[in-house]
Amino acid sequence: MPHHSPRSRRTAVAAAGGLLTLAVVSGNFPAGAASSATPTIKLSAAYLSGAVGGVGDPTVTVSVAQSGADASALTVSASASSKTSVAQTGDVTVSGTGATRTVSVAARGQGYTDLTLKVTGTGGATATTKLHYAASGSVQNPSGTRYFTGSSDASAAVEVGGGYVVVADDESNVLRLYDGSASGAPVKTWDMSAKVGADKEIDIEGATRVGDLIYWTGSLGNNKDGEYKADRNTVFTTSVSGSGAATQLTYAHSYKKLRDQLVAWDEANGDRYGFAAGTEDGQVPKQIDGFNVEGLEFAPGSTTTAYLGFRAPLVPPKDGGKGLIVPVTNFDKVLASGAAPVFGTPIELDLGGLAVRDIRKNSANQYLVLAGSWAADDNSDPYALYQWDGVAGHAPVKRADLPTSDPGGWESVVSVPDLSQSGQRAQLITDNGSADLYGDGTEAKDLDHDEWKKARAAWFTVS
């Protein structure tokens, strides 16, 4: 009988760049294997998010190795779960061969669990590491749902070709490029803070593209405490080169006086919309007579006249009021050269008592207006999609009421399909910043790990 030592050796190594390696070597080796090297196992990320019933959930990459051994001879498996109601070892799938494997998890329930992943090498030597997994609850239409991780506060989106989309975050000044057809982390990121001279969040809420320029606008309103914050008055442009996964963004220009000019214009026209009162100190932006911009798109056939869509105020500021759009007829020059904005005749849209939360058109000048509450809402408030032709005096037509039972508020329309064809779909994105995704009372924006923060993108039939 071979003699087995009762002792075991444990070696922990924290690798740079956020890669976690934890090697455990058992002293109980088979005969003749005492000299087998300790295998290693490394994760591309130690934190992973999924969803109950999720389709195409994010995955992590596992790298394994063992000195003197062919990596294809190593096996990788899940050996333990700290909370089996969230995911069990049998819910973990390891695919691939060789030195690199892919790990996916099929969630059983909402919550958190630590999954122990084990590599077994030649001679029976093993190593383990922990994958910290979080599962959000099931949602409607899971087959048409994807999750963009790294940020939960998606607030504006622009398609850049090949199904890829650049998404803004109203809690930071970072623009993120995602594959719109897949769940997972951003392909690229660009922090605009230094370029636009912003120390705090711009509160990016609207965006649209004309040629090789993307226009971005802050909310222009006070913060949630009714305080004036200059960085929120920023409108800026980025130049686009390449497309799809190869998209590159470069800062172009910015303008920081649009709020002031809107207030002055409204006062000069009889204070029709109460912009001065809505921007006073102490006035929160998300109230029925507040001041808050959330939509940005250009007029039909125009590259110069932009439509600013207001979340607040409603017109008039009472239940049943209309959504407000203010045209800026020289928006291109405002951004390119700092020209004083020229405002056109305001447009008031009957959106069933809802306000403009986003507005997007296609090359045929077919518009989708995402309508929602003016309030600092949760996901229970009503949302709807309206079709419009962009012409003042023409009424929008409701296309769909959006589901409100799932976490997050509908915030962005990625692109508009040909609305003259039946069965066409549009992709919408939620702001999940205030959502309790994992059932522990923590708002998504306050989660400790970016991999657990996520916005939800979903496809809806709109024609």
**How confident is the model over 229-277, as pLDDT tens digits?**
999 999 999 999 999 999 999 999 999 999 999 999 999 999 999 999 9
**Does residue 34 carry a pLDDT above 90?**
no
What domains does the chain contain, in order, with CATH numbers? 9-136 (2.60.40.1080), 142-461 (2.115.10)
* pLDDT at 101 exceeding the cut of 80: yes
**pLDDT band at 11; cut points 50, 70, 90:** very low
| Token code pair at residue 181 | 């057809």
N-terminal to C-terminal alpha carbon distance within the chain: 75
Percent of the chain with pLDDT over 90: 90
Question: Among all chains, which residue has been given the structure tokens 């509450």?
Answer: 373
pLDDT of residue 379: 67
User: In whole angstroms, what is the distance from residue 273 CA to residue 266 CA?
Assistant: 7
Q: What is the pLDDT at residue 4?
A: 42
pLDDT band for 180, please (50, 70, 90 cuts). very high
Contact 327, 345 (CB under 8 A): yes
Output the pLDDT for position 26: 40
Decide which of 379 and 167 is more confident.
167
Query: Residue 1: its pLDDT value, please?
Result: 42
pLDDT of 16 over the 60 cut = no
pLDDT band per the 50, 70, 90 thresholds, residue 50: very high
pLDDT score of 332: 98
Residue (of 411, 167, 191, 213) closest to 306 by Cα position: 213
pLDDT digits (tens, 9 = 90+) for 360-399: 999 999 999 999 999 966 667 899 999 999 999 999 999 9
Which of 7, 34, 39 is closest to 24 using CA atoms? 39
The one-letter code for the residue type at 210 is V
Stretch 214-237: mean pLDDT: 97
pLDDT at 377: 65
Question: For residues 2 and 33, is the Cβ–Cβ distance under 8 A?
Answer: no
SS3 assignment for the chain: CCCCCCCCEEEEEECHHHCEEEEEECCCCCCCCCCCCCCEEEECCCEEEEECCCCCCCCEEEEEECCCCCHHHCEEEEEEECCCCCCCHHHEEEECCCCEEEEEECCCCCEEEEEEEEEECHHHCEEEEEEEEEEECCCCCHHHEEEEECCCCEEEEEECCCCEEEEEECCCCEEEEEECCCCECCCEEEECHHHHCCCCCCCEEEEEEECCEEEEEECCCCCCCCCCCHHHHCEEEEEEECCHHHCEEEEEEEECCHHHHHHHHHHHCCCCCCHHHHCCCCCCCCCCCCCEEEEEEECCCCCCCEEEEEEEEEECCCCCCEEEEEEECCHHHHHHHCCCCCECCCEEECCCCCEEEEEEECCCCCEEEEEECCCCCCCCCCEEEEEECCCCCCCCEEEEECCCCCCCEEEEECCCCCCCCCCCEEEEEEECCCCCCCCCCCCHHHCCCHHHCEEEEEEEECC
312-363 confidence digits (pLDDT tens): 999 999 999 999 999 999 999 999 999 999 999 999 999 999 999 999 999 9
Whether the model clears a pTM of 0.95, i.e. scores above it, the answer is: no
pLDDT single digits (tens) 405-433:
999 999 999 999 999 999 999 999 999 99
Do 117 and 128 touch, CB atoms closer than 8 A? yes
- Residues 105-149: pLDDT tens digits? 999 999 999 999 999 999 999 999 999 999 999 999 999 999 999
